[in-house]
């Protein structure tokens, strides 16, 4: 699949154009553009691939310019989301490199500027995320302006943006709101958040946006929605598992990152269901403690395994994978695209980073 | 002028629609929507008024639905900018009320949630700003979808968003980058930033967006641009003066806010040009010190006056006001609109808050 290369080239052209437009604004602006360009390199380009495959699945010509541009605009939006995300999660690394706020902090220090480098990193990253959101819209417009299906594409794009932002907010709030909720609800809340902030955002909407651009039929859209929902849920649960059990060398993030961050995933909800009151108190103590030792992290990983929570999550992942492939088998989609979708689903669910 | 009321009602309807769509997502989402609604109340609605007047000036029918909706979308974008701005500037109050990050911090505490209320306030405000940006686009699309002049409106809107974000970044960077720049450039840098982050954003683009929606002629657009640029510069310089000399009771912000924040305005550049090396060092020491006493703030205010910097800025404001009215006198615009523009210009330049 050459979509990744096509998208990277399109993003490179887009950033170059933006640099030209702002060329007059001097060296400081260049710092912002360098940071922006950095956030647009690397990554799995998963959303772009789902978008392009949705386009092809609905009869679009592979690698068509408008499809690559729309797919690329999704990657710019994702870069924006990650910049703000890393601020919110206090994540200092992204893909093994400094997160945007750290990169800007370093740039401030290297430039010999006055004042707090850390403050500048945070402020700069808030604005960098805002700039990337604006850019994602600009590229989307470049791609769809005057296009027959532009209205539906814009509508689905807007829905994606609202859903992921609300989902992110619920996710952040849940890290502290869980104490006020009946324990029986925790797993459902975690699934609801996974659906909004990830299933819809990362898989379902990219597929639908690509398909909408190609003028997909109602049947095609609804089967892509169903397929995308199952894959998206499995994708997020895999993310939850990797956030706790992932290998640093492959994820580029510290092991047990989600534990120190205190994310209230379904893995956490299932584990707590099986713990004694005392063990549960200690578990809650540890969760969200940024200074947790490696041993303490390891202990929590063990509790998640011995409680059977990990197995339960793995089986939900498999159930969703099976359901998605079931939908695919009878979906009224282009032949080749169906295989691509199965391949992408596999990559999203059984990845190790 | 009833534009403010029309816009407030349109914003109220928009938020209500958003609540309905997300009604299923429960009490935590409500917290986000309440915070969003709060950011959309009050304010001078200056951008909406310039937008609507630009629309009328180019022949649009006063209070037409699409013009009010586009004007309202600019106010949602402004609300987003202020939410992120207050985070960046560490401003705890906005229009005499808690800034969004403080309001969310308070909500977290009142709800009895676990963890750091302050962290939640910051994270929540980053996401609230992102949601408002998405909303502003959504309302813009509602307004212009299928409209003859939608492409130009979208293009000018995108330009506004890029300019203000770059301008904000330059503004934040300048607070610490000035030490590495030749002193002779400081005033020009301050003007460049004022032009990007404020003249274009607050006045010129709102006027042009409204005018574009009405299918303005090339002549109408260029005279509105020229008028808007002069008023916009004067508007920002007035803002700089109020940020130092403003009356808390009227601005709703602590006196000397910009001094404690360390903003490198043209007022600062002009003052430093007249200070002795020692006085300048003490001046730079004090600027950006958040713990500055009222007396120390008062001392800096005096230096800005005795150095003649304040008078210089006031005369630049007047020069721009005169130039703007000169443009207006011969501009090919609707009669009534010309008077409205003069009235708006006056309100923007000689305001006290």
Q: Exposure of B249 by Cβ count < 10 A (0-12 exposed, 13-18 middle, 19+ buried)?
A: exposed
pLDDT in tens, B36-79: 999 999 888 999 999 999 999 999 999 999 999 999 999 999 99
Interface test with A, best of B33, B135, B165, B170 (most A CBs within 10 A): B165
* DSSP H or E run through B97: strand B97-98
Phi, psi of A94 (to 5 degrees): -145, 125
Instruction: State how far the Cα of A11 lies from the Cα of B325, in Å rounded to an integer.
Output: 44
Query: Chain B residues with CB inside 8 Å of A15's CB?
Result: none
B178 touches A: beta carbon within 8 Å: yes
Say if residue A75's pLDDT is above 90: yes
pLDDT at B1 (0 to 100): 52
Closest by Cα among A100, A95, A169 to A128: A100
pLDDT in tens, B293-347: 999 999 999 999 999 999 999 999 999 999 999 999 999 999 889 999 999 999 9
pLDDT at A35 (0 to 100): 94
Task: Compare all CA atoms of chain B with the CA of A104 and give the residue at the minimum distance.
Answer: B173
How many interchain CB pairs under 8 A, A with B?
165
Say if residue A109's pLDDT is above 90: yes
Minimal C-alpha gap between A62 and chain B (Å):
27
CB atoms within 10 A of CB A342: 17
pLDDT at A1 (0 to 100): 52
Predicted confidence band of residue A268 (pLDDT cuts 50, 70, 90)? very high
A-contacting residues of B 72-101, CB under 8 Å?
84, 87-88
B112 touches A: beta carbon within 8 Å: yes
pLDDT in tens, A132-151: 999 999 999 999 998 999 99
Sign of CA dihedral A63, A66, A69, A70: negative
Say if residue A131's pLDDT is above 70: yes
The SS3 assignment for B98 reads: strand
A268 touches B: beta carbon within 8 Å: no
Closest by Cα among A339, A91, A325, A123 to A231: A325
pLDDT in tens, A234-265: 999 999 999 999 988 888 777 788 899 888 99
Pairing of strands A93-94, A97-98: antiparallel
| Averaged pLDDT, A199-210 | 96
Under CATH, domain A3-349 is a member of which superfamily?
Farnesyl Diphosphate Synthase (1.10.600.10)
Contact B84 A115 (CB under 8 A): no
A245 touches B: beta carbon within 8 Å: no
* Residue in A126, A158, A180 closest to B87 by CB: A126
Minimal C-alpha gap between A320 and chain B (Å):
23
pLDDT at A300 (0 to 100): 95
Contact A179 B113 (CB under 8 A): yes
pLDDT in tens, A6-63: 999 999 999 999 998 877 777 888 889 999 999 999 888 999 999 999 999 999 999 9
Query: CA torsion angle for A309, A310, A311, A315 (degrees, to 10)?
Result: 100
Query: Chain A residues with CB inside 8 Å of B135's CB?
Result: 162
Query: Chain B residues with CB inside 8 Å of A170's CB?
Result: 25, 28-29
pLDDT > 70 in chain B, percent: 100
Task: Compare all CA atoms of chain B with the CA of A33 and give the residue at the minimum distance.
Answer: B166
Chain centre to alpha carbon of residue B81: 8
Instruction: State how far the Cα of A176 lies from the Cα of A264, in Å rounded to an integer.
Output: 9
Structure pTM?
A: 0.95
Task: Please report, in tens digits, the pLDDT of each residue of chain B (353 residues total).
Answer: 589 999 999 999 999 999 988 777 778 888 899 999 999 998 889 999 999 999 999 999 999 999 999 999 999 999 999 999 999 998 898 888 999 999 999 999 999 999 999 999 999 999 999 999 999 999 999 999 989 999 999 999 999 999 999 999 999 999 999 999 999 899 999 999 999 888 999 999 999 999 999 999 999 999 999 999 999 999 999 999 999 999 888 887 777 888 998 889 999 999 999 999 999 999 999 998 989 999 999 999 999 999 999 999 999 999 999 999 999 999 999 988 999 999 999 999 988 88
State both tokens at B241.
């003066």
Contact A108 B176 (CB under 8 A): yes
User: Are the C-beta atoms of residues B65 and B9 closer than 8 Å to each other?
Assistant: no
Chain centre to alpha carbon of residue A102: 20
State both tokens at B140.
């813009």
Q: Exposure of B281 by Cβ count < 10 A (0-12 exposed, 13-18 middle, 19+ buried)?
A: exposed
The SS3 assignment for B63 reads: coil
Minimal C-alpha gap between A298 and chain B (Å):
23
A-contacting residues of B 120-159, CB under 8 Å?
120, 122-124, 126-131, 133-135, 137-138, 141, 145-146, 151, 154-155, 158
Interface test with B, best of A162, A190, A197, A262 (most B CBs within 10 A): A162
- DSSP characters for B197-243? IIIIIIIIHHHHHHHHHTT--HHHHHHHHHHHHHHHHHHHHHHHHHH
Phi, psi of B301 (to 5 degrees): -55, -45
- Interface pTM, i.e. ipTM: 0.94
A288 touches B: beta carbon within 8 Å: yes
Minimal C-alpha gap between A237 and chain B (Å):
20
Report the b/e string of B301-315 with b at 16+ CB within 10 A. bebbeebebbebbee
B16 touches A: beta carbon within 8 Å: no
């Amino acid at each position: 699949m050459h979509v990744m290369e096509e998208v990277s080239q399109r993003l490179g052209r887009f950033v170059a154009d933006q640099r030209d437009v702002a060329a007059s604004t001097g060296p400081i602006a260049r710092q912002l553009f360098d940071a922006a360009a950095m956030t647009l390199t690397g990554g799995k380009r998963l959303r772009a691939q789902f978008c392009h495959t949705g386009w092809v699945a609905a009869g679009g010509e592979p690698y068509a310019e408008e499809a690559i541009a729309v797919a690329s605009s999704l990657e710019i939006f994702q870069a924006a989301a990650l910049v703000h995300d890393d601020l919110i999660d206090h994540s200092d690394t992204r893909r093994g490199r400094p997160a945007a706020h750290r990169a800007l902090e370093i740039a401030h220090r290297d430039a010999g500027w006055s004042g707090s480098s850390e403050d500048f990193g945070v402020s700069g990253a808030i604005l960098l995320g805002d700039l990337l959101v604006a850019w994602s819209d600009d590229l989307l417009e470049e791609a769809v302006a005057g296009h027959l299906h532009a209205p539906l594409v814009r509508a689905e794009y807007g829905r994606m943006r609202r859903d992921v932002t609300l989902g992110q907010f619920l996710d952040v709030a849940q890290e502290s709101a869980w104490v006020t909720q009946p324990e029986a609800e925790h797993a459902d809340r975690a699934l609801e958040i996974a659906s909004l902030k990830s299933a819809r955002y990362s898989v379902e909407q990219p597929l639908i946006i690509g398909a909408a651009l190609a003028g997909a039929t109602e049947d095609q859209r609804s089967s892509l929605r169903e397929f995308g929902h199952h894959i998206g849920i499995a994708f997020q649960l895999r993310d939850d598992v990797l956030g706790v059990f992932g290998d640093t060398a492959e994820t580029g993030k510290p092991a047990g990152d989600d534990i120190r961050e205190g994310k209230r995933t379904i893995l956490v909800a299932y584990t707590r269901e099986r713990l004694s009151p005392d063990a549960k108190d200690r578990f809650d103590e540890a969760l969200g403690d940024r200074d947790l030792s490696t041993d303490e992290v390891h202990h929590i990983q063990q509790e998640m395994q011995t409680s059977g929570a990990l197995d339960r999550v793995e089986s939900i992942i498999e159930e969703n994978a099976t359901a998605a492939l079931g939908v695919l088998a009878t979906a009224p989609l282009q032949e080749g695209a169906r295989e691509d979708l199965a391949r992408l689903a596999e990559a999203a669910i059984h990845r190790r980073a």
